[in-house]
Structure formats: C-alpha cells, structure tokens
Amino acid sequence: MKIESPDLILIAEDSPTQREKLRHMLEMHGFRVESSANGKEALAALEGKRPLAVISDIVMPEMNGYELCRRIKGDHETQTIPVILLTSLSDPDDVIMGLECGADYFVTKPYNENFLLSRIQHILANSNQENEQGVRMGLEIFFRGKKYFINSDRLQILNLLLSTYETAIQNNQELANATEEMSVLNGQLEENMAEMDLKNQELFAVNAELEKQQKIVHEARIQAEEANRAKSDFLANMSHELRTPLNSVIGFSEVLVDEMFGQLNAKQHEYVNNILFSGRHLLNLINDILDLAKVEAGKLVLEPSTVKFREVIAGTLTMFQEKALKHNLRFGLELSADCDIELIADERKLKQIMFNLLSNAVKFTPDGGIIRVTAQRTSLSDMRAAGKYLQGERQPEAEDFVEITVEDSGIGIKREDIPKLFREFSQLDSPCNKEYKGTGLGLALTKRLVELHGGQVGVESEIGKRSRFFFAIPLLQEITATGS
Amino acid sequence: MPHTILVVDDNDQNRVLFHDVLVISGFDVLLAENGEEAVHLAREHHPDLILMDIQMPVMNGLDAGKLLRSDPRTKDIGILALSCATTIDDKDDFFATGFDGYIDKPIDIRMLPNTIIKYLASVNRK
Ligand SMILES: Nc1ncnc2c1ncn2[C@@H]1O[C@H](COP(=O)(O)OP(=O)(O)OP(=O)(O)O)[C@@H](O)[C@H]1O
Ligand SMILES: [Mg+2]
C-alpha cells in the first residue's frame, strides 16, 4: 500500500538547473519536492509512495518522459497519480504521444510558473473525484502513417485537450503582449525617427553652414593667392625700377674709381669708393628681394649646368679673403676626397647660397674667430636618420647628396630663435654689427634656393660658441623647371 | 676706322655712361631712346653692333629686333640684348628673335669695352 503524500511532488528532469529551479518554485509554494534525473530514477522513487503529482520532462537519458508516464499509467498501483508532462507541444506528434502514454496535463516549455501552478491547483482541487470513475476509451489512431493506441480515460483526454487549448490561449496572450510591446516599440521607433529627422535637419543645416564656410575659406584663399601674386609682381617690378638707377650709380662710380676720365685725389677716391660699396650693397638687397619674389611667384627656375664643385666652393671663399684679413678670421676648407666631383646644379645659385652662409658667418663671428667649410657625400637615408634637416615643402627625391657645412666660432643662436631663422625679414637681436645690418633675407632665400635644387637646409648652434649651417643638394638632379 | 656701336636704352643716365665709356675706349657711338629710333638709326648708319635694352617705351627691344632682322639693310647687324631677365624663357625669346647674345644687367661697365671687342673679333673671324 502506498503512503499518501498530498503535498509531495516528484520531479523528473535531467537538467540540474531546470530541476533546481522547479524545485525552488514548488517549495516556495509549500510543496515538498523529490527530484530525479530521469524516468528510471523517478520510477524507483515512486516505490511505496503516492505523491500528489509527477512533473516530468520529456527528453531524458535512460528513460524519457513518455515512457515514464506509460509505466506509471500501466501500473494500477500508480495509474491514478496525475502526470504533468513538460513539453513543447509544438508538434501534433507531441500531443498524440502524450495521449498515447496517458499523461494528464501538458505544460509547455519554457513553462510559465503561474500556468504550472494553476495546473497543480487544479489537480489538488480534483484529486478526490476524478480517480475512480475514469472510463477507458481504447482508441486506435493513425497519424502520419503511424498507428497509436490511446488508452486514456475521457478526463485525461479532456485535460489534455484543455491543456493544448490553454497553451494556445497562453501563446495567444503572449502574442498579444508581444504585439503590444511591438506597438510600444513602434511608437518609440516613430518617436526616434522623428527625432532622427530633426537631427538630420540640424545636420543638414550644419552641413550647409559648413559648405558656406568652406566656400568662404576657398574664396579667401584665392584672394590671398591673388594678393600674394600681386605682391610678388609688385616686388619684381619695384626691384626692376630700383635697379635701373642703381646700376647708373654703380656704373658711374666704377668708372670714376677706375679713373677712366682722370685722376682722383685721395679723398675723392675714398668717397667714390663708399658710393660704390653702398650701391653694391643696395643692389644685393634688391636682388635678394627680386629673387625671393620670383621664387614665390614660381618664376625662379634653375639654370643647371655641370659644376666643378671644388672650384665653386673654393671660389666663394676667396671672395671673403679681404674681410677675413681685416677681421683676423681664419678660414678652413675641407672637402672629402669623394667630393672632387662635377655635379649638375645652377652655378650662380650655388654661389649665392655659399655667399649668404659665408657672409653670415663673417658677420656674426667676432674678430679672431674661425670659419670652416666642409663638404662630404651623404644619402637621403643618412640625412633622415641624422634628423637635423628642416622639412621643406617638397620631399627630396634623390638618393645621393653632397652636404656642405659652414661652421663658425661666432656668437651662436638661441635654441628658441632657430625656427625663425629662415623666415623672410627675420633678424635676431645681436650685439654684433660689424659692417651693416642686413635685411634678414639671406637665409630665407638660401633655403628656397637649396629647395629649388631638391635639397634641404639645417642649422645647429651653441649660443656664444658656434653656429653650423649646412645644406645638402642632390648629386645628380633632373633638370626640371619649377613653377607653372 | 673705329667700329660704330648703337646703344639703345630708355634711361638717360645709362646712355650717358655707355656713351662716355665707349667713346673713351675708342668706339663711335650712336644713341637711341627706344626701339623705333633704333631701327631708323640702324637703317641709316648701319652700325657694327647694337646694344639693345629690352623694356622700353614706344617700341620694346624684342619688337625692334624682329624689325631689324626682317629688313635686308639691317639683318646682318649683330645685336646683343641688355637684359635683367633671369629666366630661361626670356633668354629663349632673345635667340628666337635673332639676337646674337645677351649681356646680363647689372652690366660691369669696366668690362664692357672688352666684351664688345671680343664679340666683334669673333664675328670678323667668321
Ligand atoms: N652664422 C650665424 N651666427 C649667428 N647668427 C646668425 C648666423 N647666421 C644668421 N644668423 C642670424 O639669423 C638672422 C637672419 O640671417 P639672414 O642671413 O637671413 O639675414 P641677415 O644676414 O641679417 O641679412 P641679409 O642676409 O639679408 O643681409 C641674422 O640676422 C642673425 O641674427
Ligand atoms: Mg645674411
């Protein structure tokens, strides 16, 4: 005889988490729970007991839910214990199989707690009446080519059908809920869309504003470029206008100094010499301005020829011999053996570069100092690695370079002043003002002339000790016209 | 017999300077203020050499050069441009026009007589 346990529920479920969840839920509602991991265990657990109900999963190892149910219903000792199958009921086969095995209730998985509890309440409420008067049906059903024999009583069938119905209702309810949620979401979506629209419109406005700004900037740039060109043209013209009378001044002075038209006394000679010196200086300045304007207007082009490197460098040094003597400056020239070369360059501009660097060295080195010119071969990768060159507007394209350094033992340059050096009209405060102040164009032009050659310039200095200006020009350089 | 040099320059002082230096160096000198005058003088006097400035009012040096070259009376006269042009293009223009060479400004006035003598010698040898 079985011991009635009206508050005991037996669970057959192979997933430990599902099992625990179910147990927890049932215990929370005042039931005692005994659980087993498959049908076999559940059968064993039923020995000598009569629980209120068995809740069983379907797919389990060893013995599945249908089989468990079939065994319970096949044993007259246990056949009245209500069996609740946790099934998906998604397939008519599930219903048939359920009927066939004689299950009393179906609860869809994943189950709704309330729904499962309501099943159990239902069992509790009906536990007294339904048992004995069951009328066996004994039905043979063909379904999908298979024969099933259904042995359930009417109540079971009714319950089962109700379960399906309830499941359908539940599904429907869920569907309705989902639809509701959907419509809420839809509403939100629409709101979001409206917001998006607004944002879009804002973006559109911002974009339009941006485009307007861009246009303004573009126009401003064109204007600036035009202004720049006008400035360059103006400078070029001015320079021409200035040079013409200046050439007269120089020409007449030269003729006088040469005493082509008669002797001068010492005073006259000195004065005319002064006129000539100042005239030439002024002419140099004007030429620099003209050259700069031309570089800017893209009008200065290289006139390359084969240049005997050593001769040109040595030649520019001799131009300063007189000054060196006067100021007791020592000159040194060191060209490495591999610099005894001919290279393709614009000789006049190369001389101009050297002239600018040497005149600075002479200008900014106190009497008794040393000025050294060195030259050596180098390569683009070495130049890059050394990292001492200024980045120009154009990247050098050649690989082989010759590097010329003009080093002096002069006043040096403050670190913070170095970036200013190569700008036009930039002159640093210096106490050294031997002959005359320049205009601050020398280095600006030098940089441009070097870059026109496809090279780079750079400077290193120690304030009060030395300055080292260097430039590198490609050994072999294609003859390309710049500008236009 | 001394060589005759026609100097064409719109700058008064330059003309004076050229004149004085060339005369003292033993040349006969003709002066013109612009290209048009230069063409007239060249046709009339057939100088041995013309020193031609480029930027001038009335008629510039390039146009004058073209006229001189297209006229049988003047097409054999040597013409040197006095130029302060530094671009290749401009110099190509000189040669395209039929100039025989150019002297870069600023002109070293002390070297000018020598330059002219050298040029005339090279023409005579041909
Ligand atoms: N070797 C040097 N030693 C110390 N300072 C230098 C040296 N070279 C240039 N500088 C500084 O850089 C400034 C700019 O030089 P840059 O040659 O451009 O102009 P400048 O010599 O003053 O005038 P310009 O060359 O136009 O006659 C100089 O005024 C000077 O202050
Ligand atoms: Mg300088």
Q: Where are the alpha helices (DSSP H) in A297-333?
A: 309-318, 321-326
Cβ-proximal residues to A225 (8 Å cutoff; 6+ apart), any chain:
none
User: Do residues A10 and A34 make contact, with C-beta atoms less than 8 angstroms apart?
Assistant: yes
Q: pLDDT for B96-120, tens place per residue?
A: 777 887 787 778 888 889 889 988 8
For residue A483, what pLDDT band results from cuts at 50, 70 and 90? Answer: very low
What's the CA gap between A399 and A472, in Å, rounded? Answer: 11
Give CA torsion, residues A97, A100, A104, A110, to 10 deg: -10
Q: Which of the pair, B95 or A422, is modelled with greater confidence?
A: A422
In the beta sheet, which residues pair with residue A53? A9
B86 interface with A at CB cutoff 8 Å: yes
Instruction: Write down the CATH number for the domain with range B4-125.
Output: 3.40.50.2300
What's the CA gap between A183 and A185, in Å, rounded? Answer: 5
Distance A426 CA to ligand 1 centre (A): 8
Q: Which of B14, B19, B83, B86 to mutate to test the interface with A (most CBs of A within 10 A)?
A: B86
Give CA torsion, residues A96, A102, A107, A113, to 10 deg: 180
Q: What percent of chain B has pLDDT over 90?
A: 36
Task: Residue count of chain A, please give it.
Answer: 484
Task: Return the number of other C-beta atoms located less than 10 Å from residue A9's C-beta.
Answer: 23
A259 interface with B at CB cutoff 8 Å: no
One-letter amino acid at B81 equals: A
B13 interface with A at CB cutoff 8 Å: yes
Q: What is the average pLDDT across A39-54?
A: 89
For residue A154, what pLDDT band results from cuts at 50, 70 and 90? Answer: low
User: Do residues A154 and A137 make contact, with C-beta atoms less than 8 angstroms apart?
Assistant: yes
Q: What is the CA radius of gyration of chain B?
A: 13
User: Do residues A72 and A46 make contact, with C-beta atoms less than 8 angstroms apart?
Assistant: yes
Distance A156 CA to ligand 2 centre (A): 112
Q: pLDDT for A180-230, tens place per residue?
A: 888 888 888 888 888 888 888 999 899 999 999 999 989 988 888 888 777
Q: Which of A237, A240, A252 to mutate to test the interface with B (most CBs of B within 10 A)?
A: A252
Pocket of ligand 1 (CB under 6 A): A 288, 356, 360-361, 364, 408, 410-413, 421, 426-428, 430, 438-444, 467
Listing DSSP states for A454-475 in one string gives T-EEEEEEETTTEEEEEEEEES
User: Do residues A365 and A411 make contact, with C-beta atoms less than 8 angstroms apart?
Assistant: yes
What's the CA gap between B124 and B126, in Å, rounded? Answer: 5
